[in-house]
Structure 1
Amino acid sequence: MEVYRPTIIKYGIGFGSALAMAVSFTLNKSILWAVIHGILGWIYVIYALLFKTY
């Protein structure tokens, strides 16, 4: 299992950033905010899930 860990972490971070950017752009309609939230990644995804209304 040790061999696969770096790959899983890399793709998890990449997916979190992409998901954060998609959610941010959908909610805010701003590319600048999408980039900022993409840098935050999973932190913004969890924040949006808990505190944003859809």
Structure 2
Amino acid sequence: MSKKKSVVQSGIGFGSALAIAISWSVNKSILWAILHGSFSWFYILYYALTR
């Protein structure tokens, strides 16, 4: 269990990575990707509901 916990703490979360990937594929902008990555799951839900 401690190994799993340390992996999650040391890297970005799955939600952030997914939000960055979606944002990059839609906008092709690093600034938007960083912003959407910080909102992570909120951006993913917004994207899912508006598409």
TM over 0.5: yes
Give CA-to-partner distance per residue, 1:5-42, whole Å, 9 cap, x none: xx4xx57x700000000000000110000000000000
Q: Name stretches of at least 5 consecutive residues in structure 1 with no aligned partner.
A: none
* 1:32 equivalent in structure 2: 31
- TM-score, length basis structure 1: 0.71
Q: Which runs of 4+ in 1 moved over 2 A?
A: none
Aligned residues: 45
Task: Give the structure-2-normalised TM-score.
Answer: 0.75
Give the residue type in structure 1 aligned to 2:24: F
Query: Which residues of 2 match residues 12-23 of structure 1 at below 5 A?
Result: 14-23=13-22
Q: 1:48 matched to which residue of 2? A: 47
Identity percentage of aligned residues: 51
Please list every run of 5 or more consecutive structure 2 residues that lacks an aligned counterpart in the other structure: none
